[in-house]
Copies of this chain bind each other. A is one copy, B any other.
Amino acid sequence: MHENVENAQQEDEVVEEEVDALAEVTRERDVYLDDLQRLKAEFDNYRKRAARDQESLVARAHERLVKELLPVLDDLGRALEAAEQHEEAKLEEGVRLVHRSLLGLVERHGLSEIETEGPFDPHVHEALLTQPGEEAEPGSVLQVLQKGYRLGDRVLRPARVVVSAGGSN
């Protein structure tokens, strides 16, 4: 009888431990499930917002740049008026103004002209023609047909050039 009671007590303890463990693990499971659902909802919202943000980001980037072009359009309008009235000096001054303001704008945005002095560089130059040139080093740039531009480090457009073939070709 004494032994039976002890067994029963032990069994009760085991049951109690199991019940405690079950309660603890159930609590953990519920917390994780809750976290998981919350994180899923947050992620979904983030994804939607990111898509919206990207659209408006591109729109605002364009808007800023287009807005910067308005003074250039103003200068150009005045130059056109001068052209219509055949005020040549004013027209010339106007064109110089447009050039300065447009060049300033694109330079602020990282545009720079590709240098064409010296030897032909296939990374930044495109040879459209080769010409004999008595006085020029073979492989040097003789003439620029179209200016080239970099944006930051990237070549946006190579300079189109005529290259010297050297003296006796």
Contacts and interface: CB of A to CB of B under 8 A. Distances in A.
Nearest to A113: B73
A92 B88 CA distance: 9
Interface in A58-89: 58, 61-63, 65-67, 69-70, 72-74, 76-77, 79-80, 83, 88
B70 A156 contact: yes
Copies per complex of this chain = 2
A8 interface: yes
Interface residues of A, number: 67
A124 interface: no
A73 B109 contact: no
Tell me the interface secondary structure of chain A in the complex. Answer: helix
A38 to B, nearest CB: 10
Interface stretch (A14-22, A115-123, A132-140, A161-169): A14-22
Interface of A: 4, 7-8, 11-12, 14-15, 18-19, 21-22, 25-26, 28-29, 32-33, 35-36, 39-40, 42-43, 46-47, 50, 53-54, 57-58, 61-63, 65-67, 69-70, 72-74, 76-77, 79-80, 83, 88, 91-92, 94-96, 98-99, 102-103, 106, 109-111, 146-147, 149, 151, 154, 156-157
7 contacts: A18-B18, A57-B57, A62-B65, A73-B106, A91-B92, A94-B95, A95-B95
